[in-house]
Amino acid sequence: MNYLLDLLQGIGVAAAAGASPFLPLAVAAIAGLVNLGADYEGTTFSFLESPVLIALAVLLAVVGLVARRKLESPQAERVMLGLGVVFGAVVTAATIADRSDTWWPGLIAGALAALITGLAVQSLLRRTRARLEDEQRTLLSVGGALGAGLVALLSVVLPPLGLVAVAAGIWLYAGGRRQDTSKHAGLRILR
């Protein structure tokens, strides 16, 4: 049962990291430092409890928001998604490693959770940003990062919410794909 709860906690944080990588990493690191939900000390992933890592993650969250605002490009989105996948995989494995020696499935589960949710959120943000003004785009980016941090925190406190976060990512991704498909079908009719 502990393994399942640790896995759910990890994939919840990973899903949040897919949406915005740095703040969920900071939340997981702080949670490990204060032994809330996980304790990375004594595991391969003890570096996650480092105050330097926490400060760096918070700093990079701020820099990431500024960079995302200035560099709204597919390349920047891919870099952020790649970082989210890596951080999600590491945090999920680290959470499992707290109470189990078989932590490697967490790498796969965390990477998949971050990838699915990250693709869904990027698709949603791309569609939404096109209709917004500059100030609204900034607010959307800040809200997205804070929302990702909140999802990570809730996943640490209530691990089953991790499954809800991943399910929401799948639902969002499927809805975005359906919308893109119907939009392109409508364009074919115009020919």
The CA distances from residue 85 to 1, 33, 112, 154, 179, in Å, are 25, 22, 7, 19, 25
Q: How many domains does the chain have?
A: 1
**Of 73, 77, 173, 79, nearest in space to 120 by CA:** 173
Residues spanned by the domain of 109:
2-189
Using alpha carbons, select from 100, 69, 90 the residue that is nearest to residue 18. 90
Please answer whether residues 91 and 10 qualify as being in contact, where contact means their C-beta atoms are separated by less than 8 angstroms: yes
- For the entire predicted model, the pTM comes to 0.87
User: Which pLDDT tens digits describe the chain residue by residue (191 residues)?
Assistant: 889 999 999 999 999 999 999 999 999 999 999 999 888 998 999 999 999 999 999 999 888 777 665 666 778 788 889 999 999 999 999 999 988 999 999 999 999 999 999 999 888 888 787 777 777 877 887 888 899 999 999 999 999 998 999 999 899 888 877 776 665 555 555 55
Rounded CA separation 61/80 (Å): 11
